[in-house]
Structure 1
C-alpha cells in the first residue's frame, strides 16, 4: 500500500509485515522547508497507522549532504512520538556523510530516551530480514 504519494519520498507500507519502506530521492533540488514538511507528513502517517517497523533507504545521496543529515535527525526525533519499534537504515554510499550520521545516531541512542532500536545495513535484504524477524530475535 502506497502512503502519502505526494511526498518527496516514495513510501510503501506492507500491513502483513508492518514495515514501511521509505525511499529518499536525490535531495539536491529540495529546500530544507520542503524536507521538514515531508518528514512531518511521514511521521504523521507512521503515527496514524501505528507502524512499528521502518526501512529508510538513502542510497541516492548526491550533492546536498546537509539535507540527508537534516532528514535523518528530524526523522529519528519524530519517530520518538510514534509506536515505532525498529528503524533500519541502508548505509549511505558517501563515506563521510555516513560517518556523520553514525555519530549522530550514536549520540541519539546514548543521550536520549529512545524507545526504538536503530540499525544500519549494507543491503535492503539484510534490513528487511531484521525488521521481519525483530519480534522473535532476542535483543531486537
Structure 2
C-alpha cells in the first residue's frame, strides 16, 4: 500500500511482511532541502507504523552532487533511522559504478563512525533482499 509519494520519495508498505519499500531519490543539489524534508516524512511514517524492515531501492538513483553532499544526506538518513525501531535495512544496488562507489564510501563512513545500529546489506535482486529482510 502506498503510504506517501511526493515525486521525490515513494513509500510502499507491505504490512504482511512489515517491509517499507523506499525508492531512493536522485541526488541533485537544488533538491537537497526537499530530500531532507522527505527523509523527515519517511522517519515519521516508520515511527507511526512501527516498521522494522526497510528496502531502499537505489537501482535507478542518479547522483549529481559532491561526495560531501551525498555523505551529508546519507548521515541525515541514518540519523533519522536511529530514531525508529529499524532492525534491518536492505539496499538494492544501482547499475552505475559511480553511484555504487559513492554509496560504498558513504556506508563505510557511517560504519566507521558507529552510526549504524542495525544490519545493512546490499543486493542486486529484489527477491533476495526481501528474503534476507524476512529471514
TM-score band by shorter chain is 0.7 to 0.9
| TM-score for the superposition, normalised by structure 2 | 0.83
Shift of 1:75: 1.6
- Provide the residue aligned with 2:38 in structure 1: 38
Q: Which of the residues 86, 106, 119 maps onto 1:104?
A: 106
Contact 1:61–1:93 at 8 Å: present in 2 too? Answer: no
Instruction: Tell me if 1:55 matches 2:52.
Output: no
- Residue 136 of structure 1 is matched in structure 2 by none
User: Does the residue aligned with 1:96 lie in a helix, a strand or coil?
Assistant: helix
TM-score (norm 1): 0.81
What's the RMSD between the two structures over aligned residues? 2.3
Compare the two structures and name the one with the higher strand fraction.
Answer: 2
Q: State the partner residue of 2:13.
A: 13
Q: Which runs of 5+ in 1 are unaligned?
A: 134-140
Name stretches of at least 5 consecutive residues in structure 2 with no aligned partner: none
Residue deviations 1:84-116 (CA, integer Å, cap 9, x gap): 000100112221231222122123223215321
Using the alignment, how far apart are the partners of 1:59 and 1:121 within structure 2? 10
Which residue of the partner structure matches residue 23 of structure 2?
23
